[in-house]
Chain A
Amino acid sequence: MELDVETARASEGTIRFRRWVGALVGSAVVVVALLTAMESDAGRRAEQALVRASRLSLDLFGRIAASGAARSFQASGLQEALAIGATAEARTIASIDEPAVARGQRAVARVERRVSARLTETVERMTAAPGPRSGLDETTRTGITASVEELQALVLRQNEQVDTADRFGTRQERAMFALILTAIAAVLLGVAGLTGPSRAGRRALGVAAVALVAAVAWGASGLVF
């Protein structure tokens, strides 16, 4: 009779042990599925943010180069016009002490003043910012007309994308580590399944449960931080 009771107790313990193994194996699979989806999604978002950051860098370099070339041309043209005007004034002043050529030099100075004024107008006309209906493609138009404020805004956006890539990269790393913990839990569950409801089996089951909980917590921490 005592033997029957012990056998019954042993059988009950085995069933409970199997239930735990089954529940933890199933849970491990669910955790793996969730962590894989999370890792995959975080990886994609990190990559997308990196692509955007790279493209914004290209935008920045392109706009700086294009607007720089256009502005440089405008500035050198206006400087040339200003220099001609300054030459006219210098010529007028210098000719005061040279009466023999003063009239001729003043005539030249008058010409230079008008040339300066007309050249300034012409440079401004030639370098006027093209509007959206200028016929120029949008990339080139926004490139040559880029302002310092626009470039600063692009720098901010680019930095934001890099930060986003960092954040999702961290999430991906945590999900991967959590997957490793889940794999360890799965191995321990396998050991528990092989050894059965012995002391070693129960210990393996307990450590597997702890590893699984740690994996969930570690993975979830990637969503918070």
Chain B
Amino acid sequence: MRSARPAKSSLLSQILGGPFWIFLGVAVLTGAVTWYLKGPETVEHAVLGDLHLLLFLIPRMLGGMILAGLVQVVLPPEVVARWVGAESGVRGLVIATAVGALTPGGPMTTFPIVVAFYMSGADRGALVAYLTAWSLLGFQRFLVWELPLLGPDIALLRLLVVFWMPVLAGAIARRLPLDPRPPTDRGQGA
């Protein structure tokens, strides 16, 4: 638990905190530009498309978040730190890469899991390796999309080129002199 906030600094103020307003501002701005450049029909079309996407996202995101909450309480932080913590070395990056490549599904479940591991003590290098592997090496994507659509030659050539890159990205992330703020306001309120 890295949160130093008073427990009741109220969920509502967290929900409607800074990031929410920034995103709302960007949405209003891009919406206005779309209205101006493409007309009101396009805005309507975009909003309807978003509503459909939202229906698609909600059952997955809710599942992903509850999964993340349970992962946090079930996995002891010592175990997370030992396997993928800041001191886990190259082995930690390789583990994160392998797990990332094996994680199926879209960002709506992957990011909650990343948040959960972050709070449980995984370091940023491992998380960067995990996300890079998930997006670049996804095993499910390889089987379902790459092999059938691109053919084994092209698919395997690409695998050969990229398989080691998540570890590289993770190693760079560990050396960057930037500190990701502990996510005190990301579901750790209680």
Q: Do the two chains belong together in a single complex?
A: no
